[in-house]
Amino acid sequence: MRVPFLRRAVAAAVAVGLVSSYAIMAQQSATQTTQVAATPRAVWTPTKDAPKDLLTALEGEHHDRFIDRAQKGDIDIVFFGTTDTEMWSWIDRGRAVWDRTFGSLKAANFGSQGTRFESLQWRMRNGELDGYRAKLVVLQAHGDDDTVIRDGKFDDYVAQYAAIIAEIRARQPQARILLFGSFPRSAVHAGRLANAELSKLGNNEIVFFIDISDRFFRPDGSHNDAMWLMSGPPNAGIHAPAFEVWAEVLQPWLDRFVR
């Protein structure tokens, strides 16, 4: 996820401070890490009132549905992310696994195609984190591998997710956060390097970093096309076996924090 030039400059300037604050959090007690400022007031802003060109048409449609769901409350686990996360709701991808894993739980999927750092932060500030008290927030990172690796923008990348996590902590202070590293977007999966940097945001008390990207490859390191495809629409992305793995990894966290 890229930010405009000026925002990148600001993000780079605050990155060290943001990451350092999470390192400090990792050393604090659970009691200390749950002491946050007063929860911001709920703001329910529909897509029609969003800044121009911030949301794609599809993401805007999703946002309106998401805030309708959030207003109803009664959510224990909520997912945020881009296309891979949205695919939990697709009949030909993760829906069957979702129904089996989360059907008996109070779960909501707020993943959407088109999600970028700026759009996700705005959505979270305008209704998608309000109206309920989650026990677990699952945040899947989007690995813009080519940009991150080519330009060495690790500080920007980590700062962006530190800001997203701070937003979750402010509006859902009682929740634990599972930050999943980016999934493969190429056979080389350069995102491993970005995930290593992203792992610094975990403190194993409130924020838990999880990287399952290696499970998208075969034991010999080759591309596993049963798990995911690199080809274009309609078959690109992760497939049902990948959601089985994702659900398997989530099970102990559901048992620990949700059930």
Of 170, 176, 130, the closest CA to residue 39 belongs to: 170
The per-residue pLDDT for 2 is 41
Q: Which amino acid is at 189?
A: H
pLDDT tens by residue, the chain, 259 residues: 444 434 444 444 444 454 444 444 433 333 333 444 678 889 999 999 999 999 999 999 999 999 999 999 999 999 999 999 999 999 889 999 999 999 999 999 999 999 999 999 999 999 999 999 999 999 999 865 555 555 666 788 899 999 999 999 999 999 999 999 988 877 767 677 888 889 999 999 999 999 998 898 888 888 888 888 776 667 778 889 999 999 999 999 999 999 8
d(CA 242, CA 10): 36
The per-residue pLDDT for 10 is 41
Which class for 205: exposed (0-12), middle (13-18), buried (19 or more C-beta within 10 A)?
A: middle
Pseudo-torsion of CA 7, 9, 13, 15, nearest 10°?
60
d(CA 165, CA 249): 21
Tokens of 34: 């749950």
d(CA 92, CA 87): 9
Residue 191 · residue 143 · CB < 8 Å: yes
The per-residue pLDDT for 233 is 67
Q: Which is it for the CA torsion 45, 51, 54, 57, positive or negative?
A: positive
The per-residue pLDDT for 136 is 98
Domains of the chain: 5-29+78-257 (3.40.50.1110)
The strand pair at 237-238 and 228-229 is best described as antiparallel
Tokens of 153: 């923008």
The per-residue pLDDT for 38 is 79
Residue 178 · residue 137 · CB < 8 Å: yes
